[in-house]
Structure formats: structure tokens, C-alpha cells
Chain A
Amino acid sequence: MSAEIPEAASVEEQKEMEDKVTSPEKAEEAKLKARYPHLGQKPGGSDFLRKRLQKGQKYFDSGDYNMAKAKMKNKQLPTAAAPDKTEVTGDHIPTPQDLPQRKPSLVASKLAG
């Protein structure tokens, strides 16, 4: 009786090894699961899709959007820059142009493209 069980276990091991050898895709999947153990626990499909449907940089409101657009324009006109942009606080009252570029809070991944 007990002699049968190790046999069954080794057959399963062999199949797993075969899987990794014959399927490069499964080997890659194993790699991914090792790096991100929590991936794929929810149905992966809906996560990707929802991110895809929500593509586009989100702003707090239209004022935020217009400020960001204005910053882009200022970047493109370096000749119009203020004389000393290194000192933001202490020396003078900061203006929107001096503030560092706001990072978007929701980074859209390429999958949404």
C-alpha cells in the first residue's frame, strides 16, 4: 500500500517538470508568479479591462487641467523663464511656474493605449 504513494508523487513531479520544459509560456508564468505572488488572484480579465476603459490622465478639476497645460506651454518657451528658478522658498514668493511638475496620481499603463 505505502509503496504506491511515492510512485504517484513522482509521476506528478515528472508531469510538472515536463510542463516547464515543453511549455515556455508556463515557465514564464512561474517566473511571474514568483515575482508577484498576489497577481491573478482576482479574475485578471476585469482588472485589465477596467484599467483600459479608464485610460486618460485624470485631473482634479478643469482648473488643474488648465494649469498643467499652461506649465507645458511654459516649458516650451525657455526664453520666457524667470531669471532664477532654483530658489523656490525663502527668497521669494513661489509662482505656479516655479513649482515642480505635478505627477499624475493615476498612471495609465500602456495597456490602455
Chain B
Amino acid sequence: DIISTVEFNHSGELLATGDKGGRVVIFQQEQENKTQTHSRGEYNVYSTFQSHEPEFDYLKSLEIEEKINKIRWLPQKNAAQFLLSTNDKTIKLWKISERDKRPEGYNLKEEDGRYRDPTTVTTLRVPVFRPMDLMVEASPRRIFANAHTYHINSISINSDYETYLSADDLRINLWHLEITDRSFNIVDIKPANMEELTEVITAAEFHPNSCNTFVYSSSKGTIRLCDMRASALCDRHSKLFEEPEDPSNRSFFSEIISSISDVKFSHSGRYMMTRDYLSVKIWDLNMENRPVETYQVHEYLRSKLCSLYENDCIFDKFECCWNGSDSVVMTGSYNNFFRMFDRNTKRDITLEASRENNKPRTVLKPRKVCASGKRKKDEISVDSLDFNKKILHTAWHPKENIIAVATTNNLYIFQDKVN
């Protein structure tokens, strides 16, 4: 099915994917084999479960898709793992636990579960736990529903590990992980008259260290940072991040391509990264008037905006991610290409996630797109790019150089060469 979200857990041992059919598949990294020093453990399927089902909103006669929009892991507190998964309307807290022992030797039941005739029981014994084949169970522990009129685009767990936020197009709500019947509205940008609507919320995230701080991005290319200590309803931002635009460069497409599709804090908490249609920008939280770094993802598309508008590709929402040390950022593009930018060396690379062009366990070959003019050997011209092969979702292991890249239907896991 079509993959709609990819997320590593805090240790990197588990990788969760969500798809359009409402399913969650979790992969687990194999324990490192002491003899196999040339590669890290492979990721194998650990658990699969149906998180959301399609629903029907009777009041509006609208179908509610079961597609999983986001998955976020909770930090591990005990033997079980917990994650939040959300579709357009409902957020669920799932518990994933292992069972590798089962009781045997009941007095009143046979091993297959049938009850024994009590008259045949002549002695008593204590049931003992015997090892069994590992079983991984997923069970929904909390269901957070009915708090969003519009479609949920983001969830983010607070650094206090007790609360989390959920954001839809016009509102952001604050929840407590234990409480499902109550939610606090902390941002509301719905205008009194919907005719006056000019922008929507596109993404939101809590700061990794300050539990009072969160940011949300808009369809107009701005990011607002809010402090929950300032007021209960954070309609007034504490900081507004916006890059000034040259009004003479403005075109019909300007606002559409400036819409931010993803916002991610750096692990350090000092920077945040935003993704708009053509670029990735790094912002220093201390400077609101412009980003400190801008990386062009596929600038050659600027001269194709007309056709990208006609085939709706201009509205594609690409995500972005940091590596564990915040030195490299990664994002996807078309033709199953994905791009990495090294912030220190200022070098960038384009790679392709495809089975036809890469044999397993071989080093990926860098790709290059030829914008115009003579195409060199091994380059691909802009016109032969496949715009149906888009990489919207990528994730980077929190500690190692292992990345997960999702094409439309497939998940690729790459790692850097270990000598």
C-alpha cells in the first residue's frame, strides 16, 4: 500500500511506517552479530496492526480516511513500547508488548483450553511459565477523538513526556496522554468570517527541550513560535520567522511554493528546519528575519511550475529530517530521488531509491539532473523525470547513519559504508 509516514523510535532500534490503508508496520533492527563487523543489523518486520479504519461523518456526509498521517514514538519507560498514530480526525495511543512465556500445567484446563472433567482431577500442581515463540501484541490504550473539526496534519510529544499537541488546518490542541475526554485549544486561527481565510496551519512541533515552547508553520511561508507560559491561548506569537520577499519577484506561484510542508527542530534545539516546495531552510531561533542557511532541492523545477500546477504536483508535501548530530539534513524529490545537504562542508548529494538501478549491498551512485542545455552522460533531463515517483517521507536514525526512505509503495533502508 502507499506509505504515508516513517518514524524511528528514540533508540533507533524500531522503525514504524504508516500507510494509506490505516496499517502500521514496525520493523526491528537485528541485534549486532559479533562476527559481522561490516554491517549493522538488518531491519525485519516486528509487528503489523490495523491502527485506523475508514469512518463516515454522518453530519457532513464526508468520508474520514483511515490513512495514517503521522506516527510519533514515546520514549521507552518499561518493557513495552508506546506510539501515537493519527489519521485526519482521531489520535490513538498504541502499546506494543512482547510475550515470550506462557503458563502451562493448569489444573482445570487441558493444554488446548478445554475444561477437564473435575472428577478426574486427583492432584494439584502449580502452573509454570514455559518459553514460547515470541509474540508481539499491539493494543490501543487511549483513543483521543472528536477534538478536530479540520484535518490533523501533525502530532508532537512534549519534552515533559506527559502532554502532546495535535494540529489541524486551523487549530492546535494540547492533550495529556492519560486523559482522553478533554483537550485544551492553544492556537485558533479560524477567522470569524471564513471568506477572510488567508492561511492555514501546515505543521507544528514542540521544542525538544523547552516544554513551554512550540512552533507552527503556515501556508504563507511563516513560522510562529509560541510560549505557553505567556497565555492559555497562544494566538499571539512570541516570535515570527519570515523571510522578506522581493515584491518585484512575486508571481502567481509565489505563495503556493512558499507554503511550508514540514518543520523540524534540530536535536540541539537551537535551530529549526523548514521545507517549502523548492528549498530547505535552516533558521536560528534567535533570528527571525531570515534563515541562516538555504538549500535548493530542485531549483530546475522553477521553470516547470505551470505544468506542475496543472498536474497538482505543486501541492505535494515533502518532509525533511536531521541526522543525529544535526550536521546533515535530508529531504525527498521526484523520480525517487532524495537529497542530502552537509551543513559543514556545504556539499550536497542526490541519490535514487529504486530496485532497478541499485543492487542490494552496493554503494549508491550519485545522480544529477540536467536543467537545460546539453545533457551529459549519466545525467537525467528535467523532462524525463517521473513526477509520479515522489519521495515525501524520509527518516534518519537518531544515532547512526542509517536512513529510511519511502517511495510510493516501498520502504528502503540505507546505511553508510562501514569498513
Find out whether the CB atom of A46 lies under 8 angstroms from the CB atom of B249: no
Known: A65-B56, A113-B315. A49 touches B200 (CB 8 A): yes
CA distance A46 to B54 in the complex (A): 28
CA distance A53 to B64 in the complex (A): 13
Interface residues of B in 231-265 (CB under 8 A from A): 249, 251-256
Find out whether the CB atom of B62 lies under 8 angstroms from the CB atom of A56: yes
- On chain A, the residues within 8 Å of B61 by CB distance are 58-62, 64-65
Find out whether the CB atom of B63 lies under 8 angstroms from the CB atom of A59: yes
Known: A29-B251, A44-B255. A110 touches B150 (CB 8 A): no
Within 8 Å of chain A (Cβ to Cβ): is B362? no
Interface residues of A in 40-83 (CB under 8 A from B): 40, 43-46, 48-50, 52-53, 55-62, 64-66, 69
B299 CB, min distance to chain A CBs, angstroms: 9
- On chain A, the residues within 8 Å of B109 by CB distance are none
Within 8 Å of chain A (Cβ to Cβ): is B151? yes
Interface residues of B in 275-309 (CB under 8 A from A): 302-306, 309
Stretch at the interface among B111-119, B125-133, B191-199, B347-355: B191-199
B334 CB, min distance to chain A CBs, angstroms: 14
Interface bits B55-82 vs A (CB < 8 Å: 1, else 0) = 0101011111100000000000000000
- On chain A, the residues within 8 Å of B312 by CB distance are 109-111
CA distance A17 to B395 in the complex (A): 44
Within 8 Å of chain B (Cβ to Cβ): is A24? yes
Interface residues of B in 135-151 (CB under 8 A from A): 150-151
Interface bits B168-202 vs A (CB < 8 Å: 1, else 0) = 01100000000000000000000000111111100
CA distance A28 to B197 in the complex (A): 26
- On chain B, the residues within 8 Å of A111 by CB distance are 312, 315
Find out whether the CB atom of B252 lies under 8 angstroms from the CB atom of A29: yes
Interface size class of B (residues with CB under 8 A): 35 or more
A28 CB, min distance to chain B CBs, angstroms: 4
Choose from A27, A31, A43, A52 the contact partner of B200 (Cβ within 8 Å).
A52
Find out whether the CB atom of B302 lies under 8 angstroms from the CB atom of A49: no
Known: A59-B61, A65-B63, A113-B317. A23 touches B219 (CB 8 A): no
A73 CB, min distance to chain B CBs, angstroms: 12
- On chain B, the residues within 8 Å of A62 by CB distance are 56, 58, 61
Within 8 Å of chain B (Cβ to Cβ): is A25? yes
A113 CB, min distance to chain B CBs, angstroms: 7
B168 CB, min distance to chain A CBs, angstroms: 9
B12 CB, min distance to chain A CBs, angstroms: 29
- On chain A, the residues within 8 Å of B315 by CB distance are 109-111, 113
Interface bits B354-382 vs A (CB < 8 Å: 1, else 0) = 00000000000000000000000000000
- On chain A, the residues within 8 Å of B195 by CB distance are 46
Within 8 Å of chain A (Cβ to Cβ): is B342? no
Find out whether the CB atom of B219 lies under 8 angstroms from the CB atom of A28: no
- On chain B, the residues within 8 Å of A61 by CB distance are 61
CA distance A33 to B251 in the complex (A): 11
Chain A residue nearest to B303 (CB atoms) is A24
Within 8 Å of chain B (Cβ to Cβ): is A32? yes
CA distance A13 to B62 in the complex (A): 51
B304 CB, min distance to chain A CBs, angstroms: 7
- On chain B, the residues within 8 Å of A66 by CB distance are 56
CA distance A60 to B200 in the complex (A): 28
Among B60, B251, B312, the one with the most A-chain Cβ atoms within 10 Å of its Cβ is B251
CA distance A58 to B64 in the complex (A): 10
B-to-A contact residues, CB < 8 Å: 54, 56, 58, 60-65, 88, 150-151, 169-170, 194-200, 219, 249, 251-256, 302-306, 309-310, 312-313, 315-317
List 15 extra interface pairs beyond A29-B251, A111-B315, A113-B315, CB under 8 A.
Answer: A25-B249, A27-B303, A28-B303, A32-B252, A39-B252, A45-B197, A45-B199, A45-B219, A45-B255, A46-B197, A50-B197, A53-B197, A56-B64, A65-B56, A65-B63
Task: List 8 tightest A-B contacts by C-beta distance, closest first.
Answer: A111-B315, A110-B312, A24-B303, A28-B305, A28-B306, A56-B62, A29-B251, A31-B306
Name 14 interchain pairs, CB-CB below 8 A, sorted by A. Answer: A25-B249, A25-B254, A28-B303, A29-B305, A31-B306, A32-B309, A33-B252, A44-B255, A49-B169, A52-B200, A53-B170, A56-B151, A58-B62, A58-B63
